[in-house]
Amino acid sequence: MKKTILFLLGVMVMTSFTACSPEEDIKNPDFQPYKLFEDFTSNTTDGAVINLAGWTNFAEAGTVKWNQGIYYSDKYAEFTSFQSGQAVNIAWLVSPKINVESNSKLAFDVAQAYVSTAANSIELLVSTDFDGTNVTAANWTVVNFTKPPLNFDTNFDFFSSGLIDLSTYANQDVYLAFKVKGSGTNTSLDGTYSIDNVRIINKN
């Protein structure tokens, strides 16, 4: 009799142990997947016009658009008005629609080459009312980011834009645009801009 009690006691205690498994407590390190990640790996031909699904490549002035850039294993988006033959070149590369949350952050890599004046510019703009086709009809707001240094020593070197806070657009659908301005005829405005690794992620 005593032995039976002992046995039952043992079983009861053991089942109480197995009921809660410690493995259920295991969590991954904190991780959020990207809301947007574009590293232009789909580029096939250096210099060909970028035609990415979901992105809009628009020439506001002149005919030069954003092109595919390929340098060895590096792939990126590139714009240059060099020898375009046009007095003014303005091109937009607009992202797909992104739903922004309160802790969303944007970062990308940006490089310049032969840019000598600020007027030969690259800007980051955000719109909440872009209809997907008409770029100039939408309202765009400039967002600051860390510009690459205008220094021939760092031609073509990628610098981080910094981590850009998008909390002002929390809970809205936005489009990002990379707008460059240059000239094919004015040699002080015919530099090259490249962008790569456009990424948006929730991060505290």
Which residues of the shown chain bind other proteins in the complex (CB under 8 A)? 2-3, 6, 9-10, 13-14, 17, 22-34, 37, 39, 41, 72-73, 107, 109, 158-160, 162-163, 197, 199, 201, 203
Q: Both tokens of residue 134?
A: 């008409």
Which CB sits closer to other proteins, 64 or 110?
110
Instruction: Supply the DSSP symbol for 128.
Output: S
State in angstroms the smallest separation of the CB of 163 from other proteins: 5
Q: Could you tell me the smallest distance in angstroms from the CB atom of residue 94 to other proteins?
A: 21
Query: Where does the chain show beta strands of DSSP type E?
Result: 36-38, 56-61, 67-71, 74-80, 89-94, 98-100, 104-113, 122-127, 141-143, 159-160, 164-165, 172-182, 192-202
Cα 139–63–196 angle (5° rounding)? Answer: 65
Q: Which is nearer to other proteins, 30 or 153 (by Cβ)?
A: 30
Q: Does residue 62 contact residue 90 with C-beta atoms inside 8 Å?
A: yes
Nearer to other proteins, 90 or 110 (CB): 110
DSSP 176: E
Q: Report, in Å, the least distance between residue 20 CB and other proteins.
A: 9
Query: What Rg do the C-alpha atoms of the chain give, in angstroms?
Result: 26
- Tell the smallest beta-carbon distance from residue 109 to other proteins (Å): 6
Residue 69 CB, nearest distance to other proteins (Å)?
Answer: 15
Beta carbon nearer to other proteins, 3 or 45: 3
Q: Is the dihedral of CA 166, 178, 175, 30 positive or negative?
A: negative
Q: Which of 45/133 has CB closer to other proteins? A: 45
Residue (24 or 153) nearer to other proteins, CB: 24
In SS3 terms, 19-68 reads as: HCCHHHHCCCCCCCCCCEEECCCCCCCCCCECCCCCCEEEEEECCCCCEE
Q: Shortest distance, CB of residue 203 to other proteins, whole angstroms?
A: 7
